[in-house]
Amino acid sequence: MRPGTLPLMLTLILALAIFSNDAYAIDKEYQIVTSINIWSNIINMLTSPHEIARPLLTGMETPHTFSLKPEHIQAVKHASMIIYTSDRIEPFMKEILSSVNLENKTVVKVVDLPNITIVNDNPHIWMNPLNVKIFIEYVSELISERFPHLSETIAKNRITLLEQIDNLMSYINSVSQDLEDIPVIVSIPCIEPLVLQLKLRIVKIVVEDPERSPSLKEILEINELIKEYNVTSIIDVIQLNSPVIEKIVSMNNLKRAYTSPLLISSKGLDNYFKLMRYNIAAIHYAIFSPMENTSEIECGYSLALIFSILAIAMTSFLMIVLYWRSR
């Protein structure tokens, strides 16, 4: 083997592993930077096949676990448009915006768009497809004005996306007929807007404040509510991984729907419509499935992760084979 070849191959393998895990190349400059991957995904679907937006949060990060790094500031400096949900759910945006010169930059706070619906003061507005429809209509015009060469592409894709929103709403309305008034508990507020659209009856949100876990007294009170309302299911969130939720599930033998408020490309949830349809199907499945089958959703994620690892390994193996053949 030639000197320096092994380190180079290991570097390439590591790069493959990194970029398969929802990562973005930090050295690539994007015209639009968004706080979460929901907004960047919708924008890139509007401008497809041109990718002009990237999120600050990648992989399994959430606004509650986000750690600000210098490359995030650099990404915003190079962008001409910055889009985020709200100061409340993304407090780190205040620091970012105060660190860069905003002259000639367009800043969009989605929560301030006209006609955005906020239920129960819940800032996770993208979990309501009607809010996403408003966002699509707004940014279509905004991006077309900012990037005129993309206006024709955006106009075509806009029609398709709005049709998909209407289809998604029809799907929600159809599924809600089966779910209406069924009592459930919800792990954290991020999934609440979708649960309400499905007309489920939310008995309790377990972790209302991500900065504070429920006390033992509160857990016992939740257990009493579960018995009182005959709750059999909990709507959980993949990113949470809470010992409190695990305790409540095991104490009450609850069925669990694993949902996600954000895209997770490595698990196949790589666009907004796929994510929402998955969440709806996961909720419906958990509620109506026998107790012994409720782990299948989680198993699906494990299999997706295994296939991702195998793909990386196969690519690495092929690179090694090609190298030896070229010698």
- With a CB cutoff of 8 Å and minimum separation 6, the contacts of 72 are 56, 96
Which has more confidence, 305 or 225? 225
Same domain, residue pair 166 and 234:
no
The predicted structure's pLDDT at residue 138: 98
Same domain, residue pair 145 and 183:
no
Same domain, residue pair 201 and 273:
yes
The total domain count for the chain is 2
Same domain, residue pair 227 and 165:
no
The predicted structure's pLDDT at residue 242: 86
In a domain, 164, yes or no: yes
Over residues 150-160, the pLDDT tens digits come to 999 999 999 99
Q: Are strands 201-205 and 233-237 parallel, antiparallel or unpaired?
A: unpaired
Same domain, residue pair 74 and 131:
yes
The predicted structure's pLDDT at residue 5: 45
What does each C-alpha distance from 106 to 89, 125, 175 come to in angstroms?
A: 20, 21, 39
Over residues 75-115, the pLDDT tens digits come to 999 999 999 999 999 999 999 999 999 999 999 999 999 99
CATH of the domain at 94: 3.40.50.1980
- Work out the pLDDT band at 327, boundaries 50, 70, 90: low
**For a pLDDT cut of 70, what percent of the chain falls above it?**
80
210 and 237 in contact (C-beta within 8 Å)?
Answer: no
The predicted structure's pLDDT at residue 315: 52
Task: Kindly compute the dihedral angle of the four CA atoms of residues 273, 279, 282, 286, in this order, to the nearest 10 degrees.
Answer: -150
The predicted structure's pLDDT at residue 208: 76
Same domain, residue pair 197 and 160:
no
Over residues 273-295, the pLDDT tens digits come to 999 999 999 999 999 988 644 44
Over residues 303-313, the pLDDT tens digits come to 444 444 454 45
pLDDT at residue 202 above 90?
Answer: yes
Same domain, residue pair 136 and 193:
no
Over residues 15-31, the pLDDT tens digits come to 343 334 444 444 568 99
Same domain, residue pair 136 and 191:
no
In a domain, 143, yes or no: yes
Last residue of a domain, one of 127, 153, 170: 170
In a domain, 2, yes or no: no
Q: What tokens does 120 get?
A: 């129960």
Q: Closest by alpha carbon to 45, among 188, 159, 172?
A: 159
Instruction: Please tell me the distance from the alpha carbon of residue 45 to that of residue 37, in angstroms, as a whole number.
Output: 12
**For a pLDDT cut of 90, what percent of the chain falls above it?**
69
Over residues 226-237, the pLDDT tens digits come to 999 999 999 999
Same domain, residue pair 43 and 86:
yes
Same domain, residue pair 297 and 237:
yes
Predicted TM-score (pTM) of the model is 0.81
**Structural domain that includes position 186:** 176-307
The predicted structure's pLDDT at residue 318: 55
Instruction: Please tell me the distance from the alpha carbon of residue 168 to that of residue 164, in angstroms, as a whole number.
Output: 6
Which has more confidence, 221 or 3? 221
